[in-house]
Amino acid sequence: MNSFDTIRALARQHHPDLDTRLAAHDGPKSPDALRAVPDDRWLAQMTRCVFQAGFVWKVIEAKWDGFEAAFEGFDPNRISFFSDDDIARLVSDERIVRNGQKITATVENARMVADLSAEHGGFGNFMAQWPRDDQAGLLALFKARGSRLSGMTGQYFLRFSGWDAWILSGDVGAALAREGVVDKPPTSKFAISKSAAAIAAWAKEGGCSQSEVSRVLALSVG
């Protein structure tokens, strides 16, 4: 496994404007900034990522005002009590993408957000307290207590919410295989755990975020 400086140099060979590319992305939020995010915004971001999965992102973006209205501002305490009639109403609502399974997932995720918020004094407080070197554990919790947040959807949710997250994209997986961390792009629990440990080590070595390590790994492929 090469040093992070070596990987960064490889990325710079492919992309001489590496620093500009990295600077174009917002860094992870501080723990205090995560705590300050209201519960409804966490649920809104979850829902956006769930609906974008396997779909054209621009369509969801264009309809997002309709989503906000249809889901009544994404108040998790309100949505968690949505009935079957409410779900049926949303399935017929032309302001949103009318996918029944993803609408139901939003209700289930609202319950998770509301429950974790009650348990930890706010969902943002829960997220701020979770160790950044245990992203795999956080994703496992989302899989167990939420809906449709496993795999890449959960990773994108964390990244877009400002939590310090890696994303195991195809290019990141190829870089991890090149570095001998895994034999092939990681999909198994064991391979993901090894990948997470390597990314955490590079972040510590480079004095940077896991998000940045993830991006540099992707750019080092080409």
Distances in Å between the Cα of 119 and the Cα atoms of 23, 123, 127 are 36, 9, 12
C-alpha triplet 28, 30, 32: angle, nearest 5°? 145
Residue 53 has pLDDT above 90, yes or no: yes
At 1, the pLDDT band (50, 70, 90 cuts) reads confident
Residue 32 has pLDDT above 90, yes or no: yes
Tell me the per-residue pLDDT of 61-72, one tens digit each, with 9 for 90 and over.
999 999 999 999
Residue 147 has pLDDT above 90, yes or no: yes
Identity of residue 90? L
Q: How many residues does the chain have?
A: 222
Domains along the chain?
Answer: 4-28+166-219 (no CATH), 31-161 (1.10.340.30)
Tell me the per-residue pLDDT of 158-195, one tens digit each, with 9 for 90 and over.
999 999 999 999 999 999 999 999 998 898 899 999 99
Contact (Cβ atoms closer than 8 angstroms) between residue 71 and residue 47: yes
Residue 45: half-sphere exposure toward Cβ, Cα within 13 Å: 18
Q: Which of 151, 162, 164, 168 is nearest to 211 (CA)?
A: 164
At 26, the pLDDT band (50, 70, 90 cuts) reads confident
CA dist 138 and 97 (Å) reads 28
38 vs 188, more confident: 38
The model's pTM is 0.93
CA dist 42 and 60 (Å) reads 17
On average, the pLDDT of the chain sits at 96
State the average pLDDT over residues 116-130: 98
Q: Which of 73, 151, 91, 138 is nearest to 112 (CA)?
A: 138
